[in-house]
């Protein structure tokens, strides 16, 4: 029998509808470039709100038809935020 995972070792996010994203809380530094991407409609509005809240954002290498930028979550994980035009 496999040991049970402690739900306090994760942070859970609702990602619209029945979708969810969870991150495991570990005592390891996040990888420098490894990241996940969330696609949303109001990319510019979210960036403005993040920056107003003191979150540092950075431009990404442009992709045609896919504006995007990066930031780090409170745990240091790299997050790509994008819109599909």
Domain boundaries, the chain: 34-85
> What pLDDT is attached to residue 19?
83
The domain made up of 34-85 has a fold known as 2,3-Dihydroxybiphenyl 1,2-Dioxygenase; domain 1 (3.10.180)
> What pLDDT is attached to residue 26?
75
Whether residue 16 contacts residue 61, with contact meaning beta carbons closer than 8 Å, is answered with no
| Ranges in the chain, pLDDT < 70 | 30
> What pLDDT is attached to residue 14?
81
In 3-state terms, what secondary structure has residue 68?
strand
Residues 84 and 60: their CA atoms lie apart, in Å, by 14
For 54, how many CA atoms within 13 A lie in the half-sphere containing its CB? 1
């Amino acid at each position: 029998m496999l040991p049970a995972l402690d739900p306090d070792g994760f942070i859970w996010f609702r990602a619209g509808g029945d979708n969810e994203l969870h991150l495991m809380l570990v005592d390891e530094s996040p990888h420098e470039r490894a990241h996940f991407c969330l696609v949303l409609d109001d990319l510019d509005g979210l960036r403005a709100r993040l920056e107003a809240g003191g979150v540092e954002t950075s431009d990404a290498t442009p992709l045609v038809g896919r504006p995007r930028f990066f930031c780090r979550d409170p745990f240091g994980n790299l997050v790509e935020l994008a819109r599909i035009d």
